[in-house]
Structure 1
Amino acid sequence: MRARTRIVIPAAVAVVIATCGSARADDLPPKEIFERGAPATVQVLATTGQGLSSGSGAVYDAGKALVFTNAHVIEGSGALKVRIGDGDPVPARLLGSDPCEDLAVLEITTPQDGLKDLEFGESGKVEAGDVVAALGYPRSFADQGTTKVVFTSGVVQSPDVAAAPSLSLPELPSTIQHSATVNPGNSGGPLLNGNAEIVGINSLKQTAASNVEGQFYAISSDHARPVLDRLAAGDSRNNAGWNLISLADPAFTDYFEDPATGEQVLSQLSGKGVEGGMFVLNAATNTPAGKAGFVEGDVITHIKDTPVASMADVCDVLQSAGPAEKLPVAGRYSYNGGTEHPFGERWYTDLILQGKPAA
């Protein structure tokens, strides 16, 4: 059975809630914030093996036609385009992606007259109660190619939260928790302060299953800026090119077309004494994972002799490794082993990370 990519709106862990906010004396009127932010907010369209998916982003350097978005928006994409305003989609290319930071940088490859960008603000100056605005292209009843940028406003609930949303998603060390509504499709869009400056990149929301509503999370701009600079230079050292899910994720079976397949995988692995690990949903060709031979169904249990049971564990190893370092990886076969490699049989390989980009 083929595993399928699942869109996850993860639950985060922060609980601090502000119920009201106040504008600063120099804050712009909401309409002006929208008018400044909308022309630089883009829809990101990614063609994957499962079809067309979409998210949001923003132009942050018009001179170089650079756009930021979330790494999970473009994960597994074969072709990328962006829509600016009411225009037609135009081609974009991926300069760099870091799944451990959930950030990616694209370059618009077709010249755009009058391209607008947004400036970064200092997220370190954001305080609880400050008014903020989220812009993006959330899903709606409209066709994906005709949706318009949506503006929502809210307040900062907590200005610096370390978010650990899911065992299958990376931990985000610095986020702004806020109440400006974001929905699927908003991922990767900007969170603006009262001066229409970027103070965050929207990434997460609480789920209904968590019994908490009205909490949304944006990667803080102060944390994101150096990561974006690195990605724009082509440094994707933490991107192995795989899509992983934790065996311990409560939603593990939801990633399969037939949940019974996921249940069978867990049961058979448990019978072989495997309780923790990362299941490979797919591995892109011409990536470190693809070159190392990873395929759907592989179960990773150790990287560099370190047990890995969550995406945070995987990222801890990758982020501490050097460029082009060879990392020994150990694991077990599941249904991908066929008759040659029985379910649960051990395997070993080496993962060679991306080296430093050429100067």
Structure 2
Amino acid sequence: MPPSVPPTTPTPDPQLRRAQRTDRLLRIAVVWLLLLATAWVAQPYLASLWFSVTGPRTVTARGELAPAELSTIELFKRVSPSVVHVYAQSRRRPTPSFEQQDAQQGGVQSGSGVIWDAAGHVITNNHVIQGASALGARLSSGEFVTARVVGTAPNYDLAVLQLERPRTALRPIAIGSSSDLQVGQAAFAIGNPYGLEQTLTTGIVSALQRRLPTAAAHEVSGVIQTDAAINPGNSGGPLLDSAGRLIGLNTAIISGSGASAGIGFAIPVDAVNRVATALIRTGTVPVPGIGVIAADENEAARLGIDGVVVVRTLPDSPAARAGLVGASESGMVEDVIIGANGQEVHSMSDLAATLENVGIGNEVKLQVMRDGRVRTVTVKITDISRLQRS
């Protein structure tokens, strides 16, 4: 028999093999896509089933508060009982020169105030209570107490109220100093913005020695600028240092919208201390001056004059006795005050600031120009409010 020949296996077609491999890969890809689509659709349901918390969450231990937080909390607890919410039933609303921070609703304007002493005196802004027919204050305890005006100082935008028969024990605010403040140190404000009582805001002392216009074209010098949020209702509330001491009385902001823009102003506590003491003692506050009536600053600038143009002097005033002369009947300028105690004087605000620093009863050396020549005149500073009343 002839030898048997083993059968031969036919060689697969390469194109067929590639087609089979591609088909297999497509099937695998389709399976994976279906699995991924199923997982994507089922994921919310599975997560809800497996991870939902059906009972109260376990509280995570926080640890200790940061030292800065503890300090701020302690400051608020210590000072907030010294801050009151002042209400004034208003006959009319005053027109502020800045965006002064008093809130008004239904004929009642409100602001803030600080308890000055255990006798129940409260310091606030004059514009908060100006034109009021009835006054009251809500203490931090919630007690509402009627109040009366002890005295006002419109030139400083300050007023002193007397709480009448409060049942709650009063806690006077701690007093600091504004003479040694530094730009950049922490500042805290407590007040009642938009009627939201006992609101604390924080910031820094942004600038010092600002000037703030008040009534009768007077300017308060040495004003503190802060970026601690101040809004309507903060007027009369305290600006505090990190020790919780009063360093200023929040008074005004500069804002295009009427809300806080980070530029707030506070009357320095050194001025508040002096004015409040005088108001409590006599109901009025002395106004340092020499008895001159000055020309409008815009008019002086139009004439090209840099200084305080003396229009006239008050009868029997220190200025008159020192020989200062006002403008002639024809309008000819005679005396122009261009300096005081060696400091340049460009406006009445400059002169008023120097007179306030020197103080009533002391003398100031004025540099006065007349007919192109400068001479020095020594003038005694007096309380011009008495001259104006006489």
Shorter-chain-normalised TM-score: which range? 0.5 to 0.7
Superposition deviation, residue 65 in structure 1: 1.0
Alignment of 1:193 onto 2:241: yes
**Residues 30-49 of structure 1 correspond to what in structure 2 (within 5 A)?**
30-49=72-91
Residues 137 and 144 in structure 2, CA contact (< 8 A), matched pair in contact too? yes
Partner of 2:147: 92
What amino acid is the match of 1:110? R
- Match 1:57 to one of 113, 127, 135: 113
TM (norm. structure 2) is 0.52
Partner of 2:269: 221
**Per the alignment, in what secondary structure is the counterpart of residue 232 of structure 1?**
helix
Residues 279 and 285 in structure 2, CA contact (< 8 A), matched pair in contact too? no
**Per the alignment, in what secondary structure is the counterpart of residue 155 of structure 2?**
coil
Q: Report the CA distance shift for 1:178/1:237 in structure 2 as closer, same or farther (over 3 A).
A: closer
Alignment of 1:171 onto 2:213: no
Residues 187 and 204 in structure 1, CA contact (< 8 A), matched pair in contact too? yes
- Match 2:280 to one of 224, 227, 232: 232
**Per the alignment, in what secondary structure is the counterpart of residue 147 of structure 2?**
strand
Alignment of 1:156 onto 2:211: no
Q: Report the CA distance shift for 1:200/1:164 in structure 2 as closer, same or farther (over 3 A).
A: closer
Q: Report the CA distance shift for 1:323/1:129 in structure 2 as closer, same or farther (over 3 A).
A: closer
Partner of 2:255: 207
Partner of 1:29: 71
Residues 150 and 161 in structure 2, CA contact (< 8 A), matched pair in contact too? yes
Superposition deviation, residue 179 in structure 1: 0.8
Alpha-carbon distance between aligned partners in 2 of 1:89 and 1:229, rounded to the nearest angstrom: 25
Alpha-carbon distance between aligned partners in 2 of 1:48 and 1:119, rounded to the nearest angstrom: 31
Q: Report the CA distance shift for 1:41/1:61 in structure 2 as closer, same or farther (over 3 A).
A: same
Partner of 2:35: none
Residues 169 and 311 in structure 1, CA contact (< 8 A), matched pair in contact too? no
Q: 1:152-187: per-residue Cα shift (whole Å, max 9, x none)?
A: 0001112x3232447976411121111111011100
Alpha-carbon distance between aligned partners in 1 of 2:215 and 2:154, rounded to the nearest angstrom: 14
Q: 1:250-289: per-residue Cα shift (whole Å, max 9, x none)?
A: xxxxxxxxxxxxxxxxxxxxxxxxxxxxxxxxxxxxxxxx
Alpha-carbon distance between aligned partners in 2 of 1:139 and 1:176, rounded to the nearest angstrom: 22
Residues 66 and 105 in structure 1, CA contact (< 8 A), matched pair in contact too? yes
**Residues 60-79 of structure 1 correspond to what in structure 2 (within 5 A)?**
60-62=116-118, 64-79=119-134
Gaps of 5+ in 1: 1-24, 141-146, 240-247, 249-300, 328-351, 354-359
Alpha-carbon distance between aligned partners in 2 of 1:55 and 1:76, rounded to the nearest angstrom: 14
Q: 1:104-145: per-residue Cα shift (whole Å, max 9, x none)?
A: 1111111333221211011222211111100111115xxxxx
> Which protein has the bigger helix share?
2
- Match 1:118 to one of 151, 157, 173: 173
**Per the alignment, in what secondary structure is the counterpart of residue 124 of structure 1?**
coil
Partner of 2:96: none
Alignment of 1:102 onto 2:157: yes
Larger Rg: 2
Alpha-carbon distance between aligned partners in 2 of 1:228 and 1:112, rounded to the nearest angstrom: 24
Q: Report the CA distance shift for 1:61/1:189 in structure 2 as closer, same or farther (over 3 A).
A: same
Identity within the alignment, %: 32
